[in-house]
Amino acid sequence: MSIELPIKGKSPKKWALYITENLDEFLQDHAACERKAAALAMSFVAKYPDRTALIDPMISLAREELEHFQQVFHLIHKRGQTLRNCDEKDPYINEILKNLRHGREERFLDRLIMSGLVEARGYERFHLLSEHLSDETLKTFYAQLAEREAGHYRIFVRIANHYFSKEEVHEAINRISDIEGKAMGSAPIRATLH
């Protein structure tokens, strides 16, 4: 089932096909992305401790992302692989970051919306991947994970709506979804989530 989220442009089918042919490498990147997502959620708590409405949702999100990290680690282990350090810079993320505004309030809103849109892209990509996997266990895993990513998008937008006007949030979603779409469109096809 496809959910409508405000991301621009669709990931090409050839990305999913490339991942199915390079699954072990992709799983390494996926594990790193889940670990970084947990760290990001906790960084919101550390940077904005005065924004009490985000504390519980971000702690819950960090726990869930760590659970996903553990699940991917188990998939890697089951396939006879060991977890590797995949901490290379993500050109997609860096491209979006360099286009965000500065200033405490502006950056806070932009980081919330960027984080939500990255989760929305995760939904789109995991959903696409699930359609191209032949292994039923992996197919189910990625289909279920896609739904979780859509929920993560909503968490970030809900927090943004708590602290900013509807108009400010709407403007940020439109502006940053353009940036995200261009960043995704220019990213080379690799065995990575982004």
Summary count for the chain: helices (H), strands (E):
7, 0
Is the four-CA dihedral 96, 4, 72, 67 of positive or negative sign?
A: positive
CA distance 96 to 121: 13
CA distance 49 to 174: 27
Residue 2 has pLDDT above 70, yes or no: no
CA distance 129 to 193: 10
pLDDT of residue 88: 76
Mean pLDDT within 10-17: 94
- What CATH number has the domain spanning 13-186? 1.20.1260.10
pLDDT of residue 85: 81
Q: Quickly state the pLDDT bin for 5 (edges 50, 70, 90).
A: confident
Q: What is the mean pLDDT of the chain?
A: 94
Greatest distance between any 2 Cα atoms in the chain: 50
Distances (CA, A) of 27 to 22, 45, 134: 9, 28, 16
Closest CA to 131 of 31, 21, 13: 13
Residue 1 has pLDDT above 60, yes or no: no
Q: Is 77 exposed, middle or buried (0-12, 13-18, 19+ CB in 10 A)?
A: exposed
Residue 3 has pLDDT above 70, yes or no: no
pLDDT in tens, 58-94: 999 999 999 999 999 999 999 999 998 877 788 999 9
Q: Which two tokens stand for residue 140?
A: 């189910």
Task: Say if pTM beats, i.e. exceeds, 0.85.
Answer: yes
pLDDT in tens, 94-141: 999 999 999 999 999 999 999 999 999 999 999 999 999 999 999 999
